[in-house]
């Protein structure tokens, strides 16, 4: 096991130099398109806000009250009418750096909080005139708030207080604690739709609120830490200590209950409680192997605890070994969302799933093999956290080059890609997906100093 892991670590102590201007066009395009993703206050939304892509003609007509389409366009790949909690939260990692985009990033959070239910529940997707669905947000809102507060500098605490951001985010976290804790004491994923990783094998097709998975719990660890950061900014020392303690306890529970390993390395599985089960291994979300024992299903979210800093250094080394295995996740264009050698791996543009709430089948995003910028970003940050800087830099360059070549070849960007670098979705030739693709700029700035120095030397251009 020791030699296998070391052989797969791919050390690159002296990375080759790159052309510092290689990504200028990509940067200019992403920032320009982010401006086109901003929306003015409308209907229930009292602040500027962000959608994942520029307005389509159909969405523009709907927002102007002219010839509104019967459907919101999401199934066809037109997301320009919606405010998505996760897209807005994660794109804010980059957009909060740009003062002229910061208001829309901050406004997106305020719109989400102001559309919350009296119970504290914040919906995952809002339209200007109504909630699109009853599904809750995933636990990223405190992280979103902390990003905005940090970007505002000395004005951050006053912004938090003026808009009651801390109390509202606490309200959502408390709603989550009251409604989404499973019988192992870990947090439940409300549904695969709520997770945002629609076809992920650990939750797709399973009943709502039955899976205690590594993604939801990793996000909750980060959410507690973000709440502690916000509390310190507001001088609430007792609250900060309480949320730090909750984060530590949840890390411990994840380490005790979710970690598993084999000859390929380590990962974090998902549990589905079963009455009378005598051991954890019979409750893995998985399938029996040749020996009859249940083997946990594999997908990129089983590596996501790296992003939250959950594993010990020793366990992190084993998780990284699995991540860097080119037979599995480590692809030529970024991190595959399922291992290439897994029986369930495929890179189709979409997946058809049955939704018991709608009593019918419908297309959803494919997170069972394609490369997404978001998952590559999360695991890039995980590599950075544990000191694998050469591998993180490699992933940053793969990600940025994937987008840059797509832009050059097609004049637009997609939300996911195959191993050849072909954009899979959306297919409409006028549609470009922006959203968290802006994180490619964050990765370059943090890991490729040649690019970071060039961008820092000149004014921001859009």
Q: pLDDT digit string (tens) for 270-295? A: 999 999 999 999 999 999 988 888 89
| Tokens found for residue 341 | 């050698």
Mean pLDDT of the 409-431 span: 97
Is the pLDDT confidence value at 157 over 60?
yes
Query: How far is it, in rounded angstroms, from Cα 146 to Cα 150?
Result: 6
pLDDT at 17: 77
Query: How far is it, in rounded angstroms, from Cα 128 to Cα 366?
Result: 27
Average pLDDT in the chain: 94
Is the pLDDT confidence value at 435 over 70?
yes
Query: How far is it, in rounded angstroms, from Cα 303 to Cα 305?
Result: 6
Please write the tens of the pLDDT for every residue from 188-221.
999 999 999 999 999 999 999 999 999 999 999 9
Q: Do 267 and 342 contact (CB within 8 A), yes or no?
A: no
Hey, which residues does 417 pair with through a beta bridge? 371, 423
pLDDT at 266: 98
What pTM does this model have?
Answer: 0.95
Q: Tell me the backbone φ, ψ of residue 362, rounded to 5 degrees.
A: -160, 160
Q: How many CB atoms lie within 10 A of CB 281?
A: 15
pLDDT at 14: 64
Q: Tell me the backbone φ, ψ of residue 136, rounded to 5 degrees.
A: -75, 160
Query: How far is it, in rounded angstroms, from Cα 47 to Cα 461?
Result: 24
Query: Please, what is the Cα angle at 297 between 213 and 414, to 5 degrees?
Result: 80
Choose between 451 and 71: higher pLDDT: 451
Is the pLDDT confidence value at 314 over 90?
yes
pLDDT at 62: 86
Hey, which residues does 354 pair with through a beta bridge? 361
* Domain edges within the chain: 22-163, 180-306, 324-434
Mean pLDDT of the 375-395 span: 98
pLDDT at 13: 53
CA quadruple 129, 136, 165, 175: dihedral sign:
positive
Mean pLDDT of the 418-443 span: 97
Look at residues 261, 231, 256 and name the one whose alpha carbon lies nearest to residue 245. 231
Is the pLDDT confidence value at 373 over 70?
yes
- Crossing angle for the helix pair 373-385 and 313-323, nearest 10 degrees? 140
Q: How many CB atoms lie within 10 A of CB 101?
A: 24
Is the pLDDT confidence value at 168 over 70?
yes
The alpha-helical segments, DSSP class H, found in 76-155 are 85-95, 99-114, 141-151
Kind of pairing between the strands at 259-262 and 265-268: antiparallel
Going along 173-275, which residue ranges are E strands? Answer: 259-262, 265-268
Query: How far is it, in rounded angstroms, from Cα 352 to Cα 361?
Result: 6
Mean pLDDT of the 306-325 span: 98
Is the pLDDT confidence value at 155 over 70?
yes
Please write the tens of the pLDDT for every residue from 398-412.
999 999 999 999 999
């Amino acid at each position: 096991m020791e030699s296998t892991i070391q052989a797969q670590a791919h050390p690159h102590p002296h990375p080759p130099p790159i052309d510092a201007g290689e990504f200028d066009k990509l940067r200019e395009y992403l920032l320009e398109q982010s401006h086109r993703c901003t929306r003015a206050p409308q209907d229930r939304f009292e602040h500027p806000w962000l959608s994942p892509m520029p307005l389509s003609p159909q969405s523009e007509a709907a927002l102007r009250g002219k010839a509104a389409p019967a459907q919101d366009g999401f199934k066809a790949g037109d997301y320009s009418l919606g405010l998505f909690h996760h897209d807005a939260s994660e794109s804010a990692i980059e957009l909060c750096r740009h003062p002229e985009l910061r208001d829309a990033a901050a406004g997106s959070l305020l719109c989400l909080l102001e559309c919350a239910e009296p119970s504290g529940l914040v919906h995952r997707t809002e339209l200007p005139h109504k909630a699109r669905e009853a599904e809750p947000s995933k636990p990223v809102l405190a992280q979103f708030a902390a990003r905005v507060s940090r970007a505002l500098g000395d004005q951050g605490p006053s912004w938090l207080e003026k808009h009651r951001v801390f109390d509202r985010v606490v309200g959502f976290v408390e709603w989550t604690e009251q409604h989404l804790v499973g019988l192992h004491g870990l947090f439940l994923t409300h549904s695969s739709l709520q997770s945002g990783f629609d076809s992920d094998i650990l939750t797709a097709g399973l009943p709502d609120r039955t899976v205690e998975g590594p993604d939801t719990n990793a996000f909750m660890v980060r959410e507690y830490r973000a709440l502690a950061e916000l509390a310190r900014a507001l001088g609430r020392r007792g609250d900060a200590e309480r949320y730090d303690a909750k984060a530590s306890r949840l890390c411990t529970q994840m380490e005790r209950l979710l970690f598993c390993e084999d000859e390929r390395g380590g990962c974090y599985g998902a549990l589905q409680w079963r009455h009378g089960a005598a051991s954890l291994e019979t409750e893995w979300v998985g399938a029996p192997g040749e020996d009859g024992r249940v083997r946990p299903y594999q997908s990129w979210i089983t590596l996501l605890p790296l992003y939250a800093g959950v594993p010990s250094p020793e366990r992190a080394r084993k998780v990284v070994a699995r991540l860097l295995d080119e037979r599995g996740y480590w692809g030529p264009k970024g991190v595959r969302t399922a291992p290439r050698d897994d029986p369930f791996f495929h890179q189709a543009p979409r997946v058809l799933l049955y939704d018991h709430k709608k009593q019918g089948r419908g297309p959803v995003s494919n997170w069972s093999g394609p490369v997404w910028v978001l998952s590559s970003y999360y695991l890039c940050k995980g590599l950075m956290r544990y000191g694998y800087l050469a591998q993180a830099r490699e992933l940053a360059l793969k990600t940025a080059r994937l987008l840059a070549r797509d832009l050059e070849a097609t004049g637009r960007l997609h939300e996911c890609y195959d191993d050849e670098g072909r954009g899979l979705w959306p297919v409409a030739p006028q549609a470009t997906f922006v959203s968290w693709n802006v994180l490619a700029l964050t990765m370059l700035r943090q890991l490729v100093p040649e690019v970071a120095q060039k961008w820092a030397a000149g004014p921001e251009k859009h």
